[in-house]
Amino acid sequence: MDVGLPWLEDFLAVIEAGGFSRAAARRHVTQPALSRRIRALEAWIGTPLFERNTHTVILTRAGAAFRPIAEDILRRVAAGREEALEAAHAATGTLRFAATHNLSQTFFPNWYRDLEARAERGAMLQLFSANMEACERLLIAGEVHFLLAHYHAAVPTRLPPARFQSIRLCADRIVPVSAPAGPDAGAPRYRLPGRAGAPLPHLTYHPGSGVGRIVANALSAWEQPPFLHATFTGPAMLLVEMARDGQGVTWSPHNLVAADLRDGHLVPAGGPDWEIPIETRLFRPRLRLSRTAETFWTTARRGAADEAQGAAR
């Protein structure tokens, strides 16, 4: 029996969900039915893809090797379908982006507007805003053409360079911020590094957050980490609001808090040594995309090159 696309989707759903029962719920099938399809896929390949003797789902070596192949096949089919529809309808097609919550609100609108004059007119735009983990899934599954996200070289993503490429759009930094100590004070209410006996209340990110990954990596890498006690976990916008309200210290992309720092609603919680340099990057698969998406990628690369040349002057 020839392998079908639903089998590949089932296989990836089990990995993403972390188990057969949750994957069956996502796929709207019974668990026995999904298990039969996974066994059929394994029979077609000729080897088990999952270890089934543990309480958690673990890929076999064969399963780990097959995963990127399944992802690439589904992406190729999605891209081919889109290009065929473009040709059939003589349409310019759709551009689909995933962007992390912060960048979808603070960076994407102006960046896309600046590129729109160069880009192909008439393309429909779809923007999906989510945390980094969800955005990675959308790009890997071929549901979007591009991913806009923060990036730090020391923090791995789920987008290996062998299968995905990216361009640097601009530089930014993640800064520690706190409410001021008083209405007219320029000093922070919570000053880094804190004291061992009195750790600072730390407003932290959800585990799926890209900025959260970068901050966690930096905290673990500093030779003398600050004394912190996590008191709240949430999305970036809420963390900034709580920091503004005096609830603790948080690390935030500078573009998100620039106005608060300028107006004195927030102040740096520490000096430049506590800042984390980052980049804003645009990711895409290395596989060919639709004509509309490829045209936009060329435009975005030229825009990034012009931006880099302007910054170097």
CB 270 within 8 A of CB 276: no
Return the exposure string of 194-218: e unless at least 16 CB atoms fall within 10 Å of the residue's CB, then b: beeeebbbbbbbeebbbbbbbbbeb
In a domain, 109, yes or no: yes
- For 219, the 3-state DSSP assignment is helix
Give pLDDT tens digits for 133-167.
Answer: 999 999 998 889 999 999 999 999 999 998 999 99
CB 24 within 8 A of CB 30: yes
Q: Give the number of residues written for the chain.
A: 313
- pLDDT value of position 78: 80
CB 75 within 8 A of CB 142: yes
CB 309 within 8 A of CB 175: no
Query: Does residue 10 sit in the same domain as residue 141?
Result: no
Give pLDDT tens digits for 265-310.
Answer: 999 999 999 999 999 999 999 988 888 889 899 999 998 988 777 6
- pLDDT value of position 96: 92
Query: Does residue 261 sit in the same domain as residue 301?
Result: no
- pLDDT value of position 244: 96
In a domain, 265, yes or no: yes
Q: Torsion-angle region of residue 259: left (phi > 0), alpha (psi -120 to 50) or beta?
A: alpha
Low-confidence stretches of the chain (pLDDT beneath 50) = 1
In a domain, 77, yes or no: no
In a domain, 274, yes or no: yes
- pLDDT value of position 312: 60
Query: Does residue 266 sit in the same domain as residue 176?
Result: yes
- pLDDT value of position 122: 62
pTM of the model as a whole:
0.78
In a domain, 233, yes or no: yes
- pLDDT value of position 72: 87
Interatomic CA distance for residues 72 and 61, integer angstroms: 18
Q: In the numeric block, which tokens belong to residue 37?
A: 């399809």
Task: Select from 69, 96, 120 the last residue of a domain.
Answer: 69
Query: Does residue 266 sit in the same domain as residue 300?
Result: no
Query: Does residue 116 sit in the same domain as residue 250?
Result: no
Q: Tokens 């999904």 correspond to what residue?
A: 34
Q: What CATH number should be reported for the domain holding residue 306?
A: 3.40.190.10
Query: Does residue 272 sit in the same domain as residue 289?
Result: no
Q: What CATH number should be reported for the domain holding residue 59?
A: 1.10.10.10
- pLDDT value of position 1: 43
Query: Does residue 294 sit in the same domain as residue 264?
Result: no
Query: Does residue 157 sit in the same domain as residue 226?
Result: no
Query: Does residue 296 sit in the same domain as residue 161?
Result: yes
- pLDDT value of position 76: 82
Total number of domains constituting the chain: 3
- pLDDT value of position 254: 96
Query: How many Cβ atoms from other residues are within 10 Å of residue 298's Cβ?
Result: 13
Query: Does residue 190 sit in the same domain as residue 261?
Result: yes
- For 243, the 3-state DSSP assignment is helix
Identify the domain containing residue 231 by its residue range: 172-278
Omega before 193 within 30 of 0, i.e. cis: yes
